[in-house]
Amino acid sequence: MSAFNTETVTQVHHWTDRLFSFTVTRDPAFRFVAGQFTMIGLEVEGKKLLRAYSMASASYDDHLEFFSIKVPDGPLTSRLQHVKPGDPVLVGRKPTGTLLADNMHPGERLYLLGTGTGLAPFMSIIREPDIYERFRQVVLIHGCRHVSDLAYEEYITKILPADEFIGAQVSKQLLYYPTVTREPFRHNGRITQILETGNFGPGIDLPPLGPKDDRVMLCGSPAFLDDMTTLLEVRGFTEGSSSRPGEYVIEKAFVEK
């Protein structure tokens, strides 16, 4: 049996000239836990062009959604950005990944920290009822260069709180904090700077980040992951894995190309 399912594109949304998302059909046998990724791609001249993509859709959706950058000379994304409804996309049958609550000790508050398309796995996690059972509060911080890069903002702030399945938990327990670094916005600064100072701005009161109560999931650029790891380790957080739970987890498969 092939390691890939051939799925069909059902919708494409272009957020900016650098960002797009798309949905594909889902094989009913394809199961994943929110936070996981799989290899997806295209067959080009008989060869598979693949890269790791986190599922941005909920584990219970009947479709799969992916959120991607467009790199003009990127082997895969230069092509993938042109997909249209009806086109085939290869989806690896074996999802995997480390952004799982099971890889961490129980805690009070879950921080989901993502830069750019690093938001993708968190779009799945914030729709998971179980996450709101495990944590009293979920803080989603999305860091981008520009306001227009804040994909899904309207979905998170308007549609999700009204969702009949997950809306009540989202409204009560999710704090969404978008921040932008290269133009004025209601929140400015890198995620690392905001967490370092603890200054979230007026009306947002969060205790200093600490390993006793806080758990952290990271997904983003390698430089962001490096700086966040240092910030967390200095505060006594340890990295968790399936063999040894800790206080934070990182998605290392995320590579921009």
Among 97, 143, 178, 211, binds ligand A2P (CB under 6 A): 143
Residue 52 contacts by C-beta under 8 Å, 6 or more apart in sequence? 37, 38, 39, 253, 254, 255
Q: Is 133 helix (H, G, I), strand (E, B) or coil?
A: helix
Among 116, 121, 211, 240, binds ligand A2P (CB under 6 A): 116
Interaction between residue 192 and ligand A2P (CB under 6 A): yes
- Near ligand A2P by CB under 6 A, which window of 8-16, 103-111, 124-132, 220-228? 220-228
How far apart CA 43 and CA 90 sit, in angstroms, is 8
- Near ligand A2P by CB under 6 A, which window of 41-49, 137-145, 170-178, 243-251? 137-145
How far apart CA 188 and CA 184 sit, in angstroms, is 7
Neighbours of 241 (CB within 10 A): 13
Among 42, 150, 191, 249, binds ligand A2P (CB under 6 A): 191
Among 19, 56, 99, 144, binds ligand A2P (CB under 6 A): 144
Interaction between residue 197 and ligand A2P (CB under 6 A): no
In this structure, the chain runs to a length of 257
Q: Count CA atoms closer than 13 A to 247's CA, side-chain side.
A: 19
Cα dihedral 120→121→127→128 (10° resolution): 170
Interaction between residue 182 and ligand A2P (CB under 6 A): yes
Interaction between residue 103 and ligand A2P (CB under 6 A): no
Min dist. Cβ of residue 29 to ligand A2P (A) = 34
Interaction between residue 93 and ligand A2P (CB under 6 A): no
How far apart CA 257 and CA 255 sit, in angstroms, is 6
Interaction between residue 221 and ligand A2P (CB under 6 A): yes
Min dist. Cβ of residue 250 to ligand A2P (A) = 13
- Near ligand A2P by CB under 6 A, which window of 57-65, 97-105, 168-176, 186-194? 186-194
Identity of the residue, 18 or 109, whose beta carbon is nearer to ligand A2P in the bound complex: 18
Among 115, 124, 169, 173, binds ligand A2P (CB under 6 A): 115
How far apart CA 204 and CA 178 sit, in angstroms, is 13
| β-strand partners of 138 | 110, 174
CB 156 within 8 A of CB 91: no
**Dihedral sign (CA 101, 105, 111, 112):** negative
Interaction between residue 145 and ligand A2P (CB under 6 A): yes
Interaction between residue 119 and ligand A2P (CB under 6 A): no
Helix (H) or strand (E) holding 234: helix 222-234
Min dist. Cβ of residue 179 to ligand A2P (A) = 7
Min dist. Cβ of residue 248 to ligand A2P (A) = 15
Residue 92 contacts by C-beta under 8 Å, 6 or more apart in sequence? 3, 4, 38, 39, 40, 50
Q: What is the contact surface with ligand A2P in residues (CB under 6 A)?
A: 115-116, 143-145, 181-182, 190-192, 221, 223-224, 227
